[in-house]
């Protein structure tokens, strides 16, 4: 909240300024999308009344408010497709520059800090999020290569797209596979110019496959839990750069050959694509001799929660992992609370009690299942409304691309971004990352736009304009809604600031920590702040108030195992081992697969 709260204020202020000064008429799809985001914000905020984790629920509500404001700003700003192209250019340049930065770091510095164990995750700090961010730049670069008038700029775009794909391979993120597949199938099938687009994909894909050995060695040849060596990282960077240069040079040569062949080039291109397709089918048949058996095996690995393969070549296509467990529990929560859900930010209400693994997560890794589990039918309607409205706009762009090559470029670039984000976040949690989701929202605004400028209403001579028109009512209603959002965001940000100060004061000044915690709690209830309050009482040797504070959290959040673990710790500090054993036992009942809690329940430590 200390980062995105002020950004949210800025977005709300900009949205209000645009609504007052630049009246436009958004398309119906844009209104549905904005309404869906506003619905998710409002219902998330309301659900904090029954959520087990009201502080996380408030954070979720703030995130949806930020998304609604940002999307509204994009919709109001993008009055024509020239601005849409500029926005896409800015997004693409930022992502490509980030890819170049990563490559330079791997060449010149100690790039081991960029890897979490043996997977690329820095400097953004989350493996799948970084892979998703890099992949968002791929389709705009493909569109740029298609539309470039000069061969050298087309070659640069293909090289950049290939570099991003190579860096995505270093993340070893399986969620990019369905995102890529859906994008390729939809954008090849629905948008004209598919021949050139298919060849760009072939060239970039072939270059990355040629470099896949050194790229995947970073994961495959590094011991689990250890960072790869600097030499291995540098070798991977060299091959990624070489693949990009090869792809760019190959595309430059292909463009020159196409111009030399003239009209006969189309026939040669079609024949070449057919040959590539046949060769690909043969290679797949050789690599996967029994495809139905392989599919059945991976499906069993998915439902039986087997770990993914330790070899990179198999990991990308492995069904193993824990997502089936996340999704199973989310579906159970939706069926148990279909109308209102368990509350925003409260997916783990049942997760730690029902999980079949020891992995600690607080979201089901799916935007659709998180909406249903935490917000019930209303959340499902909000997510479906957002996705459906933007996909409707994408369909409109598809239809218009048959008459305009410029429309085709926008459909490929913006449609590729949104499809990539939507499919990826359907099996992951990119929707919780504002920096990544903001790019997808910008692309979504392009797909449902551009908005039309409102024409002034003519006033006949001799008649006065009505003092209160329809536009005035709409602007007043929107201003009131924005004001409500700003007040909510202000309370959340200030509460978070006081809570942060309380945690900072706790080691050296527990009295100040109590004061800051009380200020925070007057604005927003939070289990984490209650923990700080209880710890301050404990440091002041006020055992009764410390325990009473934690028991209050336990009454409000009966599925919270953490508070019972803290009560056990407090009892140990007090020297009351029988009470500690009972408290740890309750924590163990709520989280039976945590080995540390199980050990504490069996034998609490000596004070």
| Rounded CA Rg of the chain | 27
Query: What pLDDT does residue 365 have?
Result: 94
Average pLDDT for residues 335-346, to the nearest whole number? 94
1 pLDDT exceeds 90? no
Determine contact, residues 591/352, Cβ cutoff 8 Å.
Answer: yes
391 pLDDT exceeds 60? yes
Window from 15-19, 182-186, 203-207, 387-391 with minimum mean pLDDT: 15-19
423 pLDDT exceeds 80? yes
Residue 568 lies in a domain: yes
How many beta carbons lie within 10 A of that of residue 274, not counting itself? Answer: 10
How many beta carbons lie within 10 A of that of residue 270, not counting itself? Answer: 12
Residue 575 lies in a domain: yes
Residue 7 lies in a domain: no
304/266 Cα distance (integer angstroms): 49
Q: How far is CA 601 from the centre of its chain?
A: 37
Crossing angle of helices 510-523/470-505, nearest 10°?
160
Query: What pLDDT does residue 255 have?
Result: 84
491/34 Cα distance (integer angstroms): 23
166 pLDDT exceeds 70? yes
Determine contact, residues 440/417, Cβ cutoff 8 Å.
Answer: yes
Q: Which residues lie below 8 Å from residue 176, measured CB to CB, with a gap of 6+? A: 131, 132, 135, 168, 424
Instruction: List the structure tokens of 478.
Output: 């929107």
602 pLDDT exceeds 50? yes
Q: How far is CA 541 from the centre of its chain?
A: 44
Q: Single out the residue of 450, 339, 340, 392 nearest to residue 47, CA to CA.
A: 340
Between residues 224 and 439, the one the model is more confident about:
439
Confidence band, pLDDT 50/70/90 cuts, at residue 467: very low
133 pLDDT exceeds 60? yes
Tens digit of each residue's pLDDT (9 = 90 or more) over 57-90: 999 999 999 999 999 999 999 988 899 999 999 9
Query: What pLDDT does residue 482 have?
Result: 83
Query: What pLDDT does residue 287 have?
Result: 64
Determine contact, residues 516/506, Cβ cutoff 8 Å.
Answer: no
Write out the residue range of the structural domain in which residue 588 sits.
508-607
Average pLDDT for residues 588-606, to the nearest whole number? 92
Average pLDDT for residues 320-338, to the nearest whole number? 93
Q: How far is CA 374 from the centre of its chain?
A: 17
Query: What pLDDT does residue 471 have?
Result: 61
Q: Single out the residue of 523, 384, 525, 488 nearest to residue 51, CA to CA.
A: 525
297 pLDDT exceeds 90? no
Determine contact, residues 391/407, Cβ cutoff 8 Å.
Answer: no
Residue 368 sits at φ, ψ, to 5 deg, of -70, -45
Q: How many percent of the chain have pLDDT more than 70?
A: 91
**Angle at the Cα of 366 from the Cα atoms of 182 and 91, rounded to 5 degrees:** 60
133/127 Cα distance (integer angstroms): 10
Average pLDDT for residues 299-312, to the nearest whole number? 72
Residue 547 lies in a domain: yes
Q: Which residues lie below 8 Å from residue 522, measured CB to CB, with a gap of 6+? A: none
Confidence band, pLDDT 50/70/90 cuts, at residue 265: low
Query: What pLDDT does residue 321 have?
Result: 83
Query: What pLDDT does residue 274 have?
Result: 78
Residue 417 lies in a domain: no
Residue 153 lies in a domain: no
Residue 530 lies in a domain: yes
Average pLDDT for residues 135-141, to the nearest whole number? 97
Residue 559 lies in a domain: yes
Query: What pLDDT does residue 118 have?
Result: 85
Determine contact, residues 488/61, Cβ cutoff 8 Å.
Answer: yes
Query: What pLDDT does residue 468 have?
Result: 46
- Please provide the average confidence, as pLDDT, over all residues in the chain: 88
Q: Single out the residue of 262, 251, 156 nearest to residue 203, CA to CA.
A: 251
Tens digit of each residue's pLDDT (9 = 90 or more) over 96-116: 999 999 999 999 877 888 998
Total domains in the chain come to 1
SS3 label, residue 522: helix
Query: What pLDDT does residue 439 have?
Result: 97
Tens digit of each residue's pLDDT (9 = 90 or more) over 483-515: 888 888 888 889 999 999 999 999 999 999 999
Query: What pLDDT does residue 131 have?
Result: 94
Between residues 458 and 486, the one the model is more confident about:
486
Average pLDDT for residues 552-563, to the nearest whole number? 92
pTM assigned to the model: 0.92
Query: What pLDDT does residue 276 have?
Result: 77
122/115 Cα distance (integer angstroms): 6
464 pLDDT exceeds 60? no
The domain that contains 532 carries what CATH number?
1.25.40.10
């Amino acid at each position: 909240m200390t980062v995105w709260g002020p950004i949210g204020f800025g977005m709300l202020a900009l949205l209000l300024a645009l609504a007052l000064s630049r009246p436009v008429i958004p398309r119906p799809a844009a209104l549905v999308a904005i309404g869906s985001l506003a619905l998710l914000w409002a219902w998330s905020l309301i659900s904090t009344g029954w959520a087990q984790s009201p502080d996380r629920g408030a954070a979720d509500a703030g995130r949806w408010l930020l998304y609604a404001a940002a999307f509204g700003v994009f919709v109001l700003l993008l009055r024509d497709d020239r601005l849409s192209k500029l926005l896409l250019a800015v997004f693409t340049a930022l992502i490509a520059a980030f890819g170049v930065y990563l490559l330079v770091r791997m060449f010149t510095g100690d790039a081991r800090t960029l890897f979490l164990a043996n997977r690329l995750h820095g400097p953004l700090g989350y493996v799948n999020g970084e892979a998703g961010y890099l992949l968002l730049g791929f389709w705009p670069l493909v569109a740029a290569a298609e539309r470039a008038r000069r061969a050298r700029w087309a070659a640069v775009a293909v090289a950049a797209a290939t570099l991003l794909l190579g860096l995505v391979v270093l993340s070893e993120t399986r969620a990019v596979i369905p995102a890529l597949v859906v994008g390729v199938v939809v954008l090849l099938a629905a948008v004209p110019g598919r021949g050139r687009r298919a060849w760009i994909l072939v060239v970039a894909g072939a270059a990355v496959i040629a470099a896949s050995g050194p790229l995947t060695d970073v994961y495959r040849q590094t011991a689990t839990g250890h960072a790869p060596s600097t030499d291995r990282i540098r070798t991977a960077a060299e091959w990624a750069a070489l693949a990009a240069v090869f792809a760019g040079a190959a595309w430059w040569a292909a463009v020159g050959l196409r111009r030399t062949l003239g009209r006969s080039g189309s026939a040669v291109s079609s024949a070449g694509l057919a040959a590539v397709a046949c060769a690909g089918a043969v290679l797949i048949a050789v690599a996967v001799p029994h495809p139905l058996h392989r599919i059945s095996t991976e499906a069993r690995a998915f439902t039986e929660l087997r770990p993914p393969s330790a070899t990179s070549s198999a990991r990308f296509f492995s069904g193993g992992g824990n997502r089936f467990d996340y999704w199973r529990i989310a579906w159970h929560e939706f069926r148990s609370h279909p109308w209102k859900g368990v509350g925003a930010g409260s997916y783990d209400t049942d997760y730690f009690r029902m999980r079949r693994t020891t992995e600690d997560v607080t979201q089901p890794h799916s935007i659709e299942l998180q909406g249903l589990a935490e917000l019930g039918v209303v959340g499902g309607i909000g997510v479906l409304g957002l996705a459906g409205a933007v996909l409707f706009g994408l369909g409109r762009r598809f239809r218009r691309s048959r008459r305009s090559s410029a429309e085709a470029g926008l459909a490929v670039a913006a449609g590729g971004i949104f499809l990539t984000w939507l499919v990826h976040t359907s099996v992951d949690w990119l929707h919780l990352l504002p920096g990544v989701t903001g790019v997808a929202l910008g692309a979504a605004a392009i797909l449902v736009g551009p908005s039309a400028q409102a024409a002034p209403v003519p006033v006949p001579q001799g008649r006065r304009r009505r003092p209160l028109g329809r536009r005035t009512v709409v602007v007043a209603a929107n201003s009131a809604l924005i004001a409500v959002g700003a007040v909510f965001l202000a309370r959340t940000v200030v509460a978070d600031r006081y809570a942060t100060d309380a945690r900072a004061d706790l080691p050296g000044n527990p009295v100040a920590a109590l004061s800051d915690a009380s200020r925070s709690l007057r604005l927003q209830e939070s289990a984490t702040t209650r923990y700080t309050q209880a710890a301050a009482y404990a440091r002041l040797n006020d055992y009764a108030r410390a325990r009473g504070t934690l028991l209050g959290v336990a009454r409000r959040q009966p599925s919270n195992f953490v508070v019972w673990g803290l009560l056990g710790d407090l009892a140990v500090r007090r020297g009351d081992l029988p009470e500690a054993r009972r408290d740890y036992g309750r924590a163990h009942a709520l989280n039976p697969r945590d080995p540390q809690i199980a050990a504490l329940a069996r034998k609490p430590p000596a004070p």
